[in-house]
Structure 1
Amino acid sequence: MTIAQTTYRQGDPSTVPVVLVHAFPVDHRIWDECADRLIDCSAGDGDPAFGVYALEMPGAGECPVPTAEQTGPVAEDGAYPEAMTRMAESYAAALRKAGFDKAVWVGISMGGYLILELHRLHPEMFAGIMLCDTKAGGDAPATRANRVAIAEECERHDTVDPVMHFAEPHDGDSVWKRSDEAVALFSGWIRSQDPRGVAWRERMAAARPDETDQLAKITVPAGIVSGTLDPSSAPDRMRPIAEQMTGTDCAFTVIEDAGHFTCVEKPDEVARAILDLWRRAAAAD
């Protein structure tokens, strides 16, 4: 699979880099401001100039939608049972191609699913791990069926309308997420996505493996970020994830007045949490 790389800072090749993995149904751009804040904070504090990169999921942004051969088997319900594993292997190859054998991996939402699968396959490629606004378990049957239904709608009508609710303001959203700026930003990001790529990611995520067993196997420095207004990954839902990371010390960062996209809603606070994780990982490396 093709994995596009965005370089926010090339960095010193002798230092461990930070790799940012985006959420659904958008692309790496959700990390743009947070990555800039991370670089500014680390430079201002005198840290070594570590690399900061974002890797694009297949079918997102400018990345091509995987072929049927690349995707692998199709389940009876239309989900892709091997796609997550194949994508994770492609991420591992992308890191090696960039010249690194390990990184501090940061994943938000669907990006969290991806880095947990990558940890299952290649724990040696982790100097640190941060899970933002995500979960470790697989989808319940109803959630899986809904993902496949959304994928079918996107493909049938060549539209991203079924996922435009991510851009709409809702009661209980953060102040920023309800702003005209936020609506315009997310609407533009989502409208620019290929409907076939949105569908592929839904089918991939629907059949992803349950990664709960990976939590206790994490031994590198770890962090969790959770927005207090996140409808699916609020602090009360993410604390059990931290508690299951029994092989490491996990820093738990609660972001007030933020929902599911903390890196966009509160980029300064998320950048500081990532920088703290990078420092712990660099000290342990």
Structure 2
Amino acid sequence: MTMTILQTTYRQGDPAAVPVVLVHAFPVDHRIWDVCATRLRECSEGDGDPAFGIYALEMPGAGECPVPTVEQTGPVAEDGAYPEAMTRMAESYAEAFRATGFHKAVWVGISMGGYLILELHRLHPEMFAGIILCDTKAEGDSPATRANRVAIAAECEEHDTVDPVMHFAEPHDGDSAWKRSAEAVSLFTGWIRSQHPRGVAWRERMAAARPDETDQLAKITVPAGIISGTLDPSSAPDRMRPIAERMTGTDCAFTVIEDAGHFTCVEKPDEVARAILELWRRA
């Protein structure tokens, strides 16, 4: 059964031009792309590029997107993770993308969004004119990380709260200057507090059992890019370079963003927008 995927249009664009599709991170929604998408549009207009479409597709359970039903989610593993949910979500993304009338896009995924577009590439490589992976990884979760995701999901559900993921909004030692600012704390607090606890839990259970996508990297033949913040605690440049090195079927551009952590598109939207635009031109 197809899941509901909501679309945000930042620019409708020329039907003849390859669009850019943006996929957001956990535990937030498409709004993390708002400023970056605006900068992308402004940069392309200023440089005289064709007016390509810019879209964001919302994950199930994020923002206003409904939490998938039991039938849509599929089997449940013994530990409570959802082993088929990522694949089902990717197929739902494919259907939502086809509804736009386009056949190919430059797909950009940050963090959990990167997991999603790699699974989409596994299922539908024909939908890719280009791919950018931001602050993410290709391998599946370790047993400890999987168990932690399921535990967070259970707490969100049992107590009807998003408190277990509020640490994403809190400033930490080593964060970027912007991420430690009052503006950042307020923005991320508002975004996360607006999420439904069951939606947060669903995404955790989905990600916990997602397939390992490392084998997809060598199969990517379209123009590719990696974006990594130097202060990212989980996807810093030294951890993402092996991803680029495994993309042996393409020429992968590697963009390092200084003074940025795990949410580069929010922390440094201008630099990320420029990297996306340069990849779009290659595609």
- TM-score, normalised to structure 2, is 0.99
State how 1:21-32 maps to structure 2 within 5 Å: 21-32=23-34
Deviations 1:171-209 (A, max 9, x none): 000000000000000000000000000000000000000
Q: Which residue of 2 aligns with 1:252?
A: 254
Deviation, 1:6, is 0.1
In the TM superposition, what is the alpha-carbon distance from 1:36 to its structure 2 partner? 0.1
CA–CA separation in structure 2 for the residues paired with 1:200 and 1:190? 15
Looking at structure 2, the residues matched to 163 and 99 of structure 1 have their Cα atoms a distance apart, in angstroms, of 36
Shift of 1:13: 0.6
The separation in 2 between residues aligned to 1:199 and 1:111, in whole angstroms, is 16
Q: What's the CA shift for 1:63?
A: 0.3
Alignment partners' CA distance in 2, 1:152 and 1:57: 20
CA distance in 2 between counterparts of 1:28 and 1:271 reads 15
What is the root-mean-square deviation of aligned Cα atoms in Å? 0.2
- Aligned pairs (5 A) from 1:160-171: 160-171=162-173
Unaligned runs of 5+ in 2: none
1:80 to partner: Cα distance: 0.1
- By how many angstroms is 1:40 displaced? 0.1
Q: Give CA deviations for 1:204-254 in whole Å, capped at 9, x if unaligned.
A: 000000000000000000000000000000000000000000000000000
Kindly provide the CA deviation profile for residues 28-51 of structure 1, in whole angstroms up to 9, marking residues without a partner as x.
000000000000000000000000
Q: Distance in 1 between matches of 2:216 and 2:142?
A: 19
Alpha-carbon distance between aligned partners in 2 of 1:23 and 1:181, rounded to the nearest angstrom: 19
For 2:41, what is the secondary structure of its paired residue? helix
Structure 1 residue 12 displacement after superposition:
0.2
Aligned to 1:261: 263
Q: For residues 17-96 of structure 1, what are the structure 2 equivalents within 5 Å?
A: 17-96=19-98
**What CA distance in whole angstroms lies between the structure 1 residues aligned with 2:248 and 2:17?**
27
**Equivalent pairs: percent with the same residue?**
90
Count of residues in correspondence between the two structures: 280
Q: 1:269, CA displacement in angstroms? A: 0.1
How far apart, in 1, do the equivalents of 2:16 and 2:160 lie? 45
Shift of residue 71 of structure 1?
0.1
